[in-house]
Amino acid sequence: MTDGMAPLLGPALGLSAILFSLGVAGVLLRRNVIVLFVCIELMLNAVNLTFVALAQLHGASGQVMVFFVMTVAAAEAAVGLAIILSIFRHKQSVDLQNINLLRG
Amino acid sequence: MTEAVFWVLAIVAVATASMCILSRSAMSAVLWLTATMLSLAAIYVLLNAEFIAAIQVLVYAGAVMVLFLFVVMLLNLGHATTDMRGPAAVAATVVIAGLLAIQLFALWTYSPERLAAEMTQAPQTGDPATLFAAGQAARRAAVEHGVVGAVAAPLFQVYLVPFELTSILLLVAIIGAVVLAKRKI
Amino acid sequence: MNASQWVWLTVALPLAGFLVNGALALRRTPARAAVSIVGPGVLIAAFGVALAVFFELLGQPPHEPHIVTLWSWMPAGALELNLAFQVDQLSAVMLLVVTGVGSLIHLFSVGYMREDPGYARYFAYLNLFVAFMLVLVLGSSLPVLFIGWEGVGLCSYLLIGFWFTEKTNADAGLKAFIMNRIGDFGVLVAMFMLWRALGTLDFAQIAARAPDGLDAGGTIVTLITLFLFLGCTGKSAQIPLYTWLPDAMAGPTPVSALIHAATMVTAGVYLVARTNVLFAMAPLSSAVVAGVGAVTALFAATIALKQYDIKKVLAYSTVSQLGYMFVAVGSAAFAGGIFHLVTHAFFKALLFLGAGSVIHAMHHAYHATHSHEDAQDMRNMGGLRRHLPVTFWLMTIATLAIAGIPPFSGFFSKDEILASAFARGAEMPIYYLYYAFGVVAAFLTAFYMARLIAMTFLGENRTGTEAERHLHEAPWIMTGPLLVLGVLSAVGGVINLPTFAGGHHALETWLEPVTAAGAAFASLELPHGTTELLLVGGAIMVGAVGLLLGFRLTLGRRIPSAREAPADTGLARVLNRKYYVDEIYDAAIVRPLVWLSRMVLWKGVDQGVVDGAAVNGTARLSRGLGWVGSRLQTGQVGVYVVLFLVGALWILRAVIR
């Protein structure tokens, strides 16, 4: 029924689900902190796809949301990479196993 | 026609994403992700979000990924070494990611068709015509004001306050990044 | 002017005396002159008020008690407790006895305690005691009476352990207090049951509601009265809670006179007389009361036969005489019991004060010769009539009174008790047994009192030639009260002379409005005519023979002084050691309780359960849970991410439902 109005909605959401799961798998699998970050960016992109797909239903708000997500992702990437740089300076390593000072 | 294009692009996206998470070095991961982003940008065009597609290429693939590249090269990590975690992690990954995929597909079953069907059974909550009213209004606005105008209008009117806050957020991020990256404060 | 309205002054004055003397006791330098005036002064003033109240009542004897409500104490729903005093014939009699005899003893104490460093503290406690005792006798309801009951118990503890630096004195005070508490439990339970049954705790209301609210002879009223009597056994030193009274002789002798002879120990008898309607409605309990009284009278008299400490003899004598009073109120002769209470107050106080005079002299003598002999042991006395003539004659009068020789007061009161028991025997034959016990006890009483007089005042002096020179009569401040008490012991019987002696039972008639409620259920027909004369004659004979035998047997052979005396053997030893009752109590009751407290309640419950499980256990549990929680904080980002995603999955699951 909605084919005329939103033809690719279903498949787009499915693709988004797959991409998100792939991002999660990457976060769980990798030890390199930078690759971890990249996988997080993958997850954010999947979410952006969801927003855009549903913008066909709910109007331009979806696209505005994507706008904001991108901005925040950019800011987060900048700060996160700066943190990784300072950790690397101290520990000479970007291995996740070595970053364990927040122990309880 | 658009369907076929979409499927091609989807397969490309999934493939590049898989290569990204299974890549052997940080550099290749970044590059594979850039490829995924470009295919996503193409998909955005298919979904009538042209402006967003442009922004994706300009900002995300063009600036953020370049930033990643800078950092990777700055760190000079050397050879690609396998840095996958152990079998326990693989098992956990399969379980968690699998469950996640299943759950998200469960959400997919709530596609608009099904939602609309459920809503017709409960007419008092509204009829399907109004369900897509906002999207159709957006399409008309896009035709009238152009794609940029269609996004800009709500951005600077309804979402003005978040917009301003986001600018402050960026300022904070700049300062934070500068401070963190300095050798001596 | 309505004197009854001012009856609260009798309590307020001694209370003020307590505060003033207490404050003076805290000063560094003793203010003896001020204490000597305030202490006895408030008592004499209170006696004045008591006289005023008595004469007002005498002019217009009321049928209903006059209630003076001071303030509302505890209005708790249906239970309205007021601090109120009841002015009627019975409380007037008790008021006169307490304030009158109390004043005399206060005056005596001025001389007796003159050199004691705790002079002011002594009078403070003594005044406080009188205040509480008056609350007890004036109380219009059981709770108010109970305030006084507990208060006199407290003051008894304070005064018995007055010289608390000696451990035995402190222990004696503790023993008295604890045994009293056992009895107090009985009074409390009785109060609860009474409230449940009748819905009131005021004496007047109890007398009004009891005939309809309770079944005469039923279980409830029997239980109530038995529990009340448990309190009486504690306070009035009857079997089984009497062992504290002989130990209480550790206190100063005037204290023994006031508290453990004339006033506090009579509180039990007063309580039974006050609630006479309940006891009259429960013949089983009355039989128990009279039975316990009779057995105690006989039992204590036997022990007194072989005691050497002069105060111990008098202590057991008190226990025995209190038994007589309970025989009276147990035979529904409530006025008779009160009569003996009054006469006993006179002659027993006289005996104790006289003993105090003797001990005072002996102490001086031994102090002057730096001797360490026991000043209270009668084997160290003898022939004191030459040195203390006034004391001797007055104590002899008291001895004749207690032995029941006419026309002294004790004769009339004791005779009435024995006659009541005999009369009650017509309805319940067991009272004949009580009568027999009473007669035997009367014989023994005369015997041991004669022994006391003989050992102390007659014969040869055994104090030691050096010390004998220092023996002298007490100063007039001590002999003055003795004189007054002597007169009262001699002529006190006049307040309730029986018909054959020309009187008309004045006290009994006076107390009729109070005992009427009880008399409705259990009236007593005293014997008259030949039976009466036979009983009276028998009583006189028993007393006279006892006295004679006592004198003869004691003076018959030489009495060795305490140092040289051989230890008693056989029956004499058993009597001297008071049938080993204290040792039996210690082994059977005290030791198991102490063991229980230490092993079970302390180590088991307190240390194990409360400290270990509850307090430390919860701490350990918290720490354990915290440790478990801390295992999650590995510091490894990978683990955190996993947990993060697990949480996200969970939320998604909830959304999809």
Please check whether residue A92 lies inside any domain of the structure.
Answer: yes
Rg from Cα positions in chain B: 22
pLDDT at A27 over 70: yes
In the structure, what pLDDT confidence band is assigned to residue B110 with cuts at 50, 70 and 90? low
Block means of pLDDT (10 residues each) for chain C, 657 residues, are 79 92 84 86 92 87 82 82 88 92 92 88 93 93 93 93 91 91 93 89 86 82 92 90 90 89 86 90 90 93 91 93 92 89 92 91 84 81 86 92 88 89 86 91 93 88 76 83 88 79 78 81 76 85 90 82 76 82 86 87 81 86 90 79 86 75
| pLDDT value of residue A104 | 59
Residue B3: which residues within 8 A CB-CB, separation 6 or more? A7, A8
pLDDT at C651: 87
In chain C, residues with a C-beta closer than 8 Å to the C-beta of A27 are: 641, 645
Contact of B89 with chain C, judged by CB distance below 8 Å, is answered with: yes
CATH number, residue A94: 1.10.287.3510
pLDDT at B128: 52
Q: How many structural domains does chain A have? A: 1
Q: Are the beta carbons of C638 and B106 separated by less than 8 Å?
A: no
Interface mutation target, options B95, B103, B115, chain C, most CBs of C under 10 Å: B103
Between the alpha carbon of residue C656 and those of residues B131, C150, C373, the distances in Å are: 21, 73, 100
pLDDT at C646: 87
What's the pTM value of the predicted model, to 2 decimals? Answer: 0.71
Amino acid A22: pLDDT: 92
pLDDT at position B146 over 70: yes
Between CA A94 and CA A98 the distance in angstroms is 8
The first and second tokens of residue C47, run together, are 């006696």
Q: Give yes or no for a contact between C293 and C330, defined as CB atoms under 8 angstroms apart.
A: yes
Write the residue in C638, C642, C649 that is nearest to B100 by C-beta: C649
Return d(Cα C298, Cα C302) in angstroms, integer: 6
State the nearest Cα–Cα gap between C632 and chain B, in angstroms. Answer: 17
The whole-number pLDDT of residue C562 equals 73
**C contact chains, 3+ CB pairs < 8 A:** A, B
Give Cβ neighbours of residue C564 (< 8 Å, ≥ 6 apart). Answer: none
What tokens were used for B172? Answer: 């904070």
Distance from the Cα of B50 to chain A's closest Cα (Å) equals: 10
Specify the higher pLDDT residue, C368 or B120: C368
Mean pLDDT of chain B: 82
Contact C641 A103 (CB under 8 A): no
CB contact under 8 A, C641 and A101: no
More confident residue, A101 or A37: A37
- Flag whether A56 is in a domain: yes
Cβ of C645 and B103 within 8 Å? no
Give long-range contacts, CB 8 A cutoff, 24+ apart: C85-88: C85/C7, C85/C8, C85/C11, C85/C138, C85/C139, C85/C140, C85/C144, C86/C138, C86/C139, C86/C140, C86/C203, C86/C204, C87/C4, C87/C7, C87/C53, C87/C57, C87/C138, C88/C57, C88/C62, C88/C64, C88/C513, C88/C514
Q: Which residue among A9, A59, A75 sits closest to B137, beta carbon to beta carbon?
A: A59
pLDDT higher than 50, residue B5 = yes
Amino acid at C239: I
Q: Has residue B108 got a pLDDT over 80? A: no
Q: Is A38 inside a domain boundary? A: yes
pLDDT of B124: 46
Band the pLDDT of B185: cuts 50, 70, 90: low
Query: Phi and psi (nearest 5°) for C67?
Result: -100, 125
The boundaries of the domain holding residue A14 are 9-98
- Residue C638 contacts A, CB cutoff 8 Å: yes
Of A8, A42, A94, nearest to B20 by CB-CB distance is A42
Higher pLDDT among residues B90 and C11, named by residue: C11
Comparing B184 with C120, which gets the higher pLDDT?
Answer: C120
pLDDT at position B1 = 78
DSSP-derived secondary structure letter, C523: -
CB proximity C639 to A under 8 Å: no
Q: Where in chain B is the domain with CATH 1.20.120.1200?
A: 1-80
Tokens, residue C379: 């084997």
* Cβ of residue A100 closer than 8 Å to a chain B Cβ: no
The Cα–Cα gap between A24 and A43 comes to: 7
CB contact under 8 A, A86 and B46: no
**Residue C404 burial (C-beta neighbours within 10 Å; 0-12, 13-18, 19+):** buried
ipTM for the assembly? 0.89
By CA distance, what is C633's nearest residue in A?
A: A104
Residues in contact with C113: Cβ distance below 8 Å, sequence separation at least 6, in sequence order: C119, C122, C252, C254
- Nearest CA to C153 out of C180, C191, C187 is that of C180
**A104 is a domain residue:** no
C587 interfacial to chain A (CB closer than 8 Å): no
Nearest to C630 among A24, A97, A104 (CB): A104
Chain A residue nearest residue B5, CA to CA: A8
CATH class of B1-80: mainly alpha
| A35/B23 CB distance under 8 A | yes
The partner residue sitting opposite B13, judged by closest CB among A19, A39, A74, is: A19
Omega before C560 within 30 of 0, i.e. cis:
no
